Amino acid sequence: MIKRLFPSLVIILLAFTVQAQDELTSQLYETYEDYKESSIGKRRIKHADIQPLIQKFKANPKFEIQKVGESIQGRDLHLISIGSGDSNIFLWSQMHGDEPTATQAIFDILNFLDAPEFKEEKEAILSKLKLHFLPMLNPDGAEVFTRRNALGVDINRDALRLQSPESQTLKRLRDSLDADFGFNLHDQSKYYNAERTEKPATISYLATAFNYEKDINEVRSNAMKVIVFMNNIIQNYAPGQVGRYSDDFEPRAFGDNIAKWGTSLILIESGGYPGDPEKQEIRKLNYVSILSALYTIANESFKSIPTEDYEKIPRNDRMLFDLKIDNVTYELLGDAYIIDLGIYNQEIDLKDHNQFYYKSSVGDQGDLSTYYAYKTFDAKGYTVVPPKVAKVDRVENPMSFLKDGVAYVKTEKPDKSAFVHFPLILVDDAFKLKSFSLQPGINPNFFLKKDGKLTHAVINGFLIDLSKPLEQQNTGNGLINGK
């Protein structure tokens, strides 16, 4: 009788645990703003921005703060630890300086761990686990918002030679902690999509391989199971927007080697989310999914998840544009052609690396029926119209120029600037409009007409509806030619 009842008891307990985790995840999402660290609300954060936060936790007896190394340019690296459990969990972020989303989420998580709410859930985590956070492993790269460190080395390809002090710090910590789980936290391009869908890969996961054969041992299997758990969470808030990063073995990479050294390695890549250029919604998803993952690791409920479900997560693909214009008529040398246009709105950093502007380009043209975009416009029946140039003393009403088919304006230009905050291209008196041609790589500036009337402008790669006020649209910015 006992033998017959035992499996049923296990199922009941498992169902209860899953329900409790679902409730926790929902509560974490709903209360997120209570713990969000508001002082770092933009992506271009620097080492100096997080030092006051580290000092705040250093003064808090709940946390242990250690200086564990320095960057090449002498910026301190700190490890922030909390918990009394026997199982070490190691989380590090921003080994690429221009990938800060998880650094922000780490400080949100630390705020949560310090707050009085969710006492029972935090006790469940911190009594079983000891959490170790290393935010901003590459502060020199963060200073200039670039991937590599001051040596020009990709830290994530320095696990064998350990040429950089940042790499040496990461390896030393991995060895001393001998963590059961490691969270390697990154950002990826917003142009990745979940395979064969129009959905951006808002979050992508990887249980890194530890050899070329991509074998699955218990260490890698545990990472896969936790990733399946995290994927199920994200589906509640960004359905269909999860990808699975390539698991091709890279012998120089930290993630692959850390898995080989015995830590279940979970790679998290923060991609794109519609209408979220600063990745604040993605930051929230990091916060919710990582805390939920720590909870399932603490109570070991992940162990019942089938490893096979990991392979069901769609692969990462890279088939997204910012803007795709389908089926537009393009007249060339007296003939009319039907083509698609794929446009990227590329970010260009300003000198201080605190802000950026857009300088767009045509990424591809022709048959783009297998590609997707954050914004797609079906231009069937519309014809491309080349832009015109006008000369005025000053620009007061940009829309009046656009309605007249003018994209380039000869006028007084602001000093020491490469862009303007309205959708026109400012040029000097010597500027001459070249023969119009659509080609990959050009900065896209043209108009669309239908039934003989101009209906839309494309200025610096942003589509503008001429029937609507500019302030109601995302028109990006204009450029200052020649600067």
The mean pLDDT of 82-104, rounded to a whole number, is 98
Question: Is the model's pLDDT at 313 over the cut of 70?
Answer: yes
Give kind and range of the element (H or E) at residue 186. Answer: strand 181-187
Q: What is the DSSP string of 81-110?
A: EEE--SEEEEEEE-SSTT--HHHHHHHHHH
- Report the alpha-carbon distance of residue 125 to residue 127 in Å, rounded: 6
Give kind and range of the element (H or E) at residue 383. Answer: strand 383-385
> Residue 457 forms beta bridges with which residues?
447, 464
How much of the chain exceeds pLDDT 70, in percent? 95
CA distances from residue 63 to 81, 88, 133, 294, 344 in whole angstroms, order as listed? 6, 15, 11, 17, 44
- Report the alpha-carbon distance of residue 436 to residue 447 in Å, rounded: 12
Residue 234 pLDDT: 96
Q: For 348-387, what is each residue's pLDDT tens digit?
A: 999 999 999 999 999 999 999 999 999 999 999 999 999 9
The mean pLDDT of 125-150, rounded to a whole number, is 98
Residue 19 pLDDT: 63
- Report the alpha-carbon distance of residue 215 to residue 197 in Å, rounded: 28
Q: Crossing angle of helices 119-126/280-299, nearest 10°? A: 60
Give the 3-state secondary structure of residue 199: coil
Q: For 143-168, what is each residue's pLDDT tens digit?
A: 999 999 999 999 999 999 999 999 99
Question: Is the model's pLDDT at 81 over the cut of 70?
Answer: yes
- Report the alpha-carbon distance of residue 282 to residue 272 in Å, rounded: 8
The mean pLDDT of 179-199, rounded to a whole number, is 97
Residue 12 pLDDT: 44
Chain centroid offset of residue 204 CA? 9
Q: For 264-304, what is each residue's pLDDT tens digit?
A: 999 999 999 999 999 999 999 999 999 999 999 999 999 99
Which two structure tokens, joined as six digits, stand for 219? Answer: 């260490």
Which two structure tokens, joined as six digits, stand for 86? Answer: 């026997």
Q: Which domains does the chain have, with CATH numbers?
A: 2-317 (3.40.630.10), 320-479 (2.30.40.10)
Residue 176 pLDDT: 98
Give kind and range of the element (H or E) at residue 70. Answer: strand 64-70
Nearest by Cα to 337 from 264, 438, 477: 438
Residue 4 pLDDT: 47
Q: Which amino acid is at 413?
A: K
- Report the alpha-carbon distance of residue 362 to residue 343 in Å, rounded: 5
The mean pLDDT of 121-149, rounded to a whole number, is 98
Question: Is the model's pLDDT at 37 over the cut of 90?
Answer: yes
Q: What is the DSSP string of 209-222?
A: -SSTT----HHHHH
Contact of 219 with 264, CB cutoff 8 Å: yes
End-to-end CA distance of the chain: 83
Contact of 257 with 159, CB cutoff 8 Å: yes
Which two structure tokens, joined as six digits, stand for 241? Answer: 């927007």
CB neighbour list of residue 407: distance below 8 Å, 6 or more residues apart: 387, 388, 389, 401, 424, 425, 445, 446, 447, 457, 459
Q: Crossing angle of helices 2-30/280-299, nearest 10°? A: 150
**pTM exceeds 0.85:** yes
Q: Which amino acid is at 351?
A: K
Q: How many CB atoms lie within 10 A of CB 111?
A: 18
Alpha helices in 185-235, H assignment, sequence order: 218-234
Nearest by Cα to 62 from 7, 115, 98, 12: 115
Tell me the average pLDDT of the chain.
94
Q: For 2-31, what is each residue's pLDDT tens digit?
A: 444 444 544 444 444 556 677 899 999 999
Residue 481 pLDDT: 83
Residue 11 pLDDT: 43
CB neighbour list of residue 455: distance below 8 Å, 6 or more residues apart: 382, 448, 449, 465, 466, 467
Residue 74 pLDDT: 98
- Report the alpha-carbon distance of residue 437 to residue 332 in Å, rounded: 8
- Report the alpha-carbon distance of residue 407 to residue 425 in Å, rounded: 6
Contact of 249 with 214, CB cutoff 8 Å: yes
- Report the alpha-carbon distance of residue 475 to residue 213 in Å, rounded: 48
The mean pLDDT of 405-420, rounded to a whole number, is 88
Q: For 99-112, what is each residue's pLDDT tens digit?
A: 999 999 999 999 99
Q: For 230-239, what is each residue's pLDDT tens digit?
A: 999 999 999 9
Residue 482 pLDDT: 54
